A and B are shown apart, each in its own frame.
Chain A
Amino acid sequence: MAPLEPWEKALVNGETYPDSVHGQIPCQNCHGGRQSADKAEAHTDIIARPSDDPEIYCQECHPDVVALNENNLHDNLAGYWTILDQRTVPEDHETIATMFGNHCSSCHATCGDCHVSQPALVGGGLIDGHMFNKTPSLTRNCTACHGSRVGNEYLGKHEDLQADVHFRQGRMACIDCHTGHEMHGQPAACEDCHTSPETQMVEPANHRYDGVQSPRCESCHITATIGQDDIEMHQVHGADLSCQVCHSVAYTSCDGCHVAISETTGNPFYATDGSYLDFKIGLNPLKSFDRPYDYVTLRHVPISSDSFAFYGDNLVPNLNALPTWVYTTPHNIQRETPQAASCNACHGNADLFLTVDQVYPNEVEANQPVIVPVIPAPISEITATVGITITEGISATAGLTTTTIISPTEQNP
């Protein structure tokens, strides 16, 4: 998408906007400034991003959405703090907060970043002549922020890797899975929605995989859960492997992120030592009733002990408090993948698993909870116990299963 010209970013659609609901509200009510034909004078004390303060500018008419906002990860970025709090120590939190303000808070999403303009990360600018769009744009809102990992995977921007089947085949946008309800944050109290005698408080989410899976693959693919369709892999592994273990392909991992302030421009910037496509199955660090899988896909996050060295020495003293290989849900789902082409494409295939030799030596301790101690043996070696008569050489197994699979799928998109 071509970048917007400076004037385009500020052009209000004189045909549509003044007649819309929000167009009835004087500009100054939201943006401040002064009445003047002189630009500089008019822009005195201008409020560029009113929806940074939705309690002032939106709440009166959208109390339900605004009430949830303070618990919305998009607004409070609590996910970052959940991690930073564990890897750093309280004495340094002031310094870390400065670092965060310079490098991380620009990712914070306002109402306007999803409904009115492009996020500042990509230069800002009105999307649709200042119309308040109900439905955010996939490319101009969502992947403007979620571009380098999720966007590139979902849209198939990596060479040799296909776009996600939901995009390629289903033409689905992000919001077909990530609903407005999810994007606005869950209510802090169940009884906001469920009115019953017993009032149960649910803690607001403090990271992106907190609580129930939402969305969840099984909500749409009901039959994929164990034993409910003819696919052998689903029957054997429907509950102990996450869907992505078999249905996603290589995704982005990163190493060594460092942040600093540029000497030449004074702008904050970051640099990562490397990013690469990888695929690693490891133990589930978030195993719970809501995420029951034993094995999940993991990605390497670019934290290192000197990531914040620009701001001081030893600011990440507790690097080992959490794994550097984290739970991930790649957005490049495919029906057929190399690792699920046959049982033994996975069983006995050491490359797929996060074993100790795959982990940087200084990160082994941190990753103990996710490292796979022993990879699953090739099927021929366990047939005796399970009673499946397959030998390694006979690749026909995969072919046979395929035939039984295809028919139910056609009626079952």
Chain B
Amino acid sequence: MKKAQRIQNIKTILLSLMLVLATAVLLSSCSSSAETDSAVALQTALEPTAVIPTPTEETAVAPTAVAATLPTDECLLCHINKDELIQTADPVEEVVSENEGEG
């Protein structure tokens, strides 16, 4: 069955995607605790570029309440944040419909 295969493929892709994500989340939680942990802080000092690859803004945005229960999902974080959406929304394009009459 082609369909079943496709679903299976998608599942595999999704699974690996989630693994990658989980690793990413683990890594980023390391980096955010870096400032408090002196041992890690040392490491940071040694190799600053490798350990803090992401802009600090990213972690600052994350509301702690959500971060505590869910792995950080950047999509969700932005899309439930009205101010963020207002700031990042594309300017309203004035699409004047050129249709005339009833369709």
A270 contacts chain B at the CB level, 8 A cutoff: yes
B47 contacts chain A at the CB level, 8 A cutoff: no
Q: Is the CB of A29 within 8 A of B102?
A: no
Which of B24, B54, B100: most chain A Cβ within 10 A? B100
Q: How far is the CB of A317 from chain B (nearest CB, A)?
A: 24
Q: Is the CB of A12 within 8 A of B76?
A: yes
Interface size on B, residues (CB 8 A): 41
Which of B6, B54, B76, B90 is A6 in contact with, Cβ under 8 Å?
B90
Residues of B within 8 A of A56 (CB): 6-7, 10
Q: Is the CB of B78 within 8 A of A39?
A: yes
Which of A7, A31, A271 is B100 in contact with, Cβ under 8 Å?
A271
Q: Is the CB of A269 within 8 A of B99?
A: yes
Q: Is the CB of A14 within 8 A of B98?
A: no
Which of B17, B70, B79, B102 is A252 in contact with, Cβ under 8 Å?
B102
Q: Is the CB of B6 within 8 A of A270?
A: no
Place the interface of chain A in its size category: 35 or more
A265 contacts chain B at the CB level, 8 A cutoff: yes
Q: Is the CB of B102 within 8 A of A42?
A: no
Q: Is the CB of B103 within 8 A of A270?
A: yes
Q: How far is the CB of B26 from chain A (nearest CB, A)?
A: 13
Q: Is the CB of A42 within 8 A of B73?
A: no
Residues of A within 8 A of B78 (CB): 37, 39, 42
Cα A358 to Cα B15 in complex, Å, equals 66
Query: Are A13 and B80 also in contact (CB < 8 A) when A254-B101, A271-B101 are?
Result: yes
Interface residues of B in 82-103 (CB under 8 A from A): 82, 85-86, 88-92, 95, 97-103
Q: Is the CB of B101 within 8 A of A273?
A: yes
A185-224 toward B: CB 8 Å interface, digit per residue (1/0)? 0000000000000000000000000000000000000000
Which of B10, B55, B76 is A18 in contact with, Cβ under 8 Å?
B76
Q: Is the CB of B76 within 8 A of A27?
A: yes
Interface residues of A in 42-67 (CB under 8 A from B): 42, 55-56, 59-60
Which of A37, A270, A271: most chain B Cβ within 10 A? A37
Q: Is the CB of A10 within 8 A of B75?
A: no
Q: Is the CB of A27 within 8 A of B80?
A: no
B39-68 toward A: CB 8 Å interface, digit per residue (1/0)? 000000000000000110110010000100
Q: Is the CB of A39 within 8 A of B88?
A: yes
Q: Is the CB of B102 within 8 A of A26?
A: no
Residues of B within 8 A of A267 (CB): 95, 98
Q: How far is the CB of B59 from chain A (nearest CB, A)?
A: 9
A12-26 toward B: CB 8 Å interface, digit per residue (1/0)? 111001100000001
The 10 A-B pairs at the shortest CB distance, nearest first, are namely A272-B101, A14-B80, A27-B75, A7-B85, A269-B98, A37-B58, A271-B100, A6-B89, A275-B102, A148-B102
Q: Would you list 15 pairs from A and B whose C-beta atoms are within 8 A, ordered by A residue?
A: A5-B89, A7-B85, A12-B79, A17-B80, A26-B21, A26-B75, A29-B14, A35-B75, A37-B54, A56-B7, A56-B10, A267-B95, A269-B98, A271-B101, A272-B101
Could you tell me which B residues sit within 8 Å of A by CB distance? 3, 6-7, 10, 14, 17-18, 21, 24, 54-55, 57-58, 61, 66, 70, 73-82, 85-86, 88-92, 95, 97-103
